[in-house]
Amino acid sequence: MGNRKIVSEAVIKRLPRYLRHLCELQRNDILRVSSKELSQRMGLTASQIRQDLSCFGEFGQQGYGYNIDFLFDSINKILGTDKGFNVIIIGAGNMGRAIANSESIQLRGFAIAGIFDINEELIGSEINGIKVLDVNTIHEFIKTTKVDIAALTIPREQTKAVAKKMYEYGIKGLWNFSATDLTLPKDAVVENVHLSDSIMVLGYKINNN
Ligand code: NAI
């Protein structure tokens, strides 16, 4: 894992799926799995699995397969979720609340460190045990709390300016839910999430089935 290779987005996007399946095997007290068995569970080919994992190192042994705990821990290390990330949510509306209430996000190593909003009626309220703070206090907050990721769940018109400010405050990871593209310096890492894209892909598949 020491030598950094360029890994395709498609491979990175499959890593969480590997984790989900490995987690299920762990729950069933299974200790090892062959690439063939894993491929059948995941609907991939065995060679695809070997190819994906070989981007990051050697995890399996011929004739033995993969040690599930080892592979699970290794993928967590690759994703950085073994160390955990601190996330702040900006915008405590429907989407912000859904993230704050999501157990699976927190179980995967993303701790919600703070929730911020501009609306005085929301400031001071609690979501999943976390107090909503005034967005104007973010800078002070960041000075005392390590923040890796800002989830941007605010109206589209506000998103670019808020993203720029977060970047200037030193938050390099931006999880952007609004339908606007962010133009930030190269060291910013932006992940855009669009539920509507996903349902449109479904629509396409239904239409072309
Ligand atoms: P909402 O109206 O329920 O919540 C937005 C919240 O942001 C409000 O509480 C508002 O007071 C707060 N806000 C506005 N300006 C702010 C600022 N400058 N700083 C801090 N807080 C601020 O809206 P909802 O439904 O939660 O949507 C939020 C965003 O997510 C929108 O851009 C929406 O288009 C997008 N969205 C994205 C989806 C996706 O799949 N990516 C799905 C649904 C919504």
Residue 63 is predicted with a pLDDT of: 83
CB-ligand 1 contact for 163 (6 Å cutoff)? no
- The amino acid occupying position 170 is G
Task: Show contacts of 127-135: CB within 8 Å, 24+ apart.
Answer: 127/92, 127/96, 127/97, 127/100, 127/101, 128/100, 128/101, 130/100, 132/92, 135/90
Query: Is 112's C-beta closer than 6 angstroms to any atom of ligand 1?
Result: no
Q: pLDDT at position 96, please?
A: 98
Q: 88 CB less than 6 Å from ligand 1?
A: no
Q: So what's the pLDDT on residue 4?
A: 62
Given this model, what pLDDT does residue 61 score? Answer: 83
pLDDT at 49: 94
CB of residue 91 inside a 6 A radius of ligand 1? yes
From the CA of 94, give the closest atom in ligand 1: 26
Query: What is the reported pTM?
Result: 0.93
Return the ligand 1 atom nearest residue 178 CA. 32
The low-confidence residues of the chain, meaning pLDDT below 70, are: 1-4
Q: Please report the atom of ligand 1 found closest to the CA of residue 156.
A: 32
